[in-house]
Amino acid sequence: MRNPMLLGVVAVMSGFLMFAYWPVVSPIFFDSADCGDITERPSLRKNAPQSLPPLEHNIFCSMRGVVQSLHPLPAVPRDSRIVSLVESSQDKLVGVKYYVKLAGDKVYAVLAGDRDDVYRFYRRKDTLLGFEIDTVGHLFDPSADERYESLDRGLRSYFSIPDSEAIRVFNTTATPKDLWPKAVAFVALGVTALLAFIGLIRTIMLGRRQA
């Protein structure tokens, strides 16, 4: 490819796509943080604020907590024929997610409806109140990313959260390995941008030598 204009367009477009894609793949390039036990945050905030783990946007972290909400906000796939979440068999709950409030801070966890411990707990008690989590998940601020705009509105409406109140969502159904295909695509864009830039420089230098 010897057309400098085309090389320049490829380099710029690849760089632009990398910039736009970075918020999606950035968590995979950093180690998972420790967000601590959410139930302990009120005590830490009062007695030892310096040791309060920050709940940053768009990171993977380990978190412990207890469900505080009596009734979860269910998210059911559009093609699902589920009539009763409690009475449905576990295999029919694939793709179903429960949004629940965790005790201690404004953190709302996402739980998979077909997860063994979630399924057994909900089926036995007809609620997720008191369910304990201790896992790694994706933590994010739904108001900070337009991809989660509808989720932010839905949570605030269901749980009566004021628009002025900052919240965090902890998605336990997401893991760092889920981002590997997107990370590979991101790296491919980087290689494309680099090769196009090198080709552009070589084409310009060759043109000057022949002038």
Instruction: Write out the residue range of the structural domain in which residue 11 sits.
Output: 4-20+182-210
Domain match, 128 and 166 both: yes
Measured CA to CA, the distance from residue 106 to residue 29 in angstroms comes to: 26
Structural domain contains residue 49: yes
In the block, residue with structure tokens 């009734």: 71
Domain match, 73 and 151 both: yes
Domain match, 147 and 47 both: yes
Structural domain contains residue 149: yes
CA-to-CA dists, residue 200 to 122, 186, 188, 189, angstroms: 60, 21, 18, 16
Domain match, 138 and 195 both: no
Domain match, 111 and 164 both: yes
Structural domain contains residue 25: no
Structural domain contains residue 79: yes
Domain match, 36 and 138 both: yes
Measured CA to CA, the distance from residue 184 to residue 189 in angstroms comes to: 9
Which helix H or strand E contains 137, and what residues bound it? Answer: strand 132-140
User: 60-99, pLDDT tens digit by residue?
Assistant: 899 999 999 999 999 988 777 675 777 788 888 988 999 9
Domain match, 80 and 155 both: yes
Give residue 198's pLDDT.
80
Number of domains comprising the chain: 2
- Give the residue-averaged pLDDT of 119-147: 93
Domain match, 51 and 98 both: yes
Structural domain contains residue 26: no
Q: Read off the pLDDT band of 16 (50, 70, 90).
A: confident
Give residue 99's pLDDT.
97
Structural domain contains residue 187: yes
Give residue 21's pLDDT.
62
Token pair of 118, please? 């979630």
Structural domain contains residue 27: no
Domain match, 137 and 193 both: no
Report yes or no on whether pTM surpasses 0.85. no
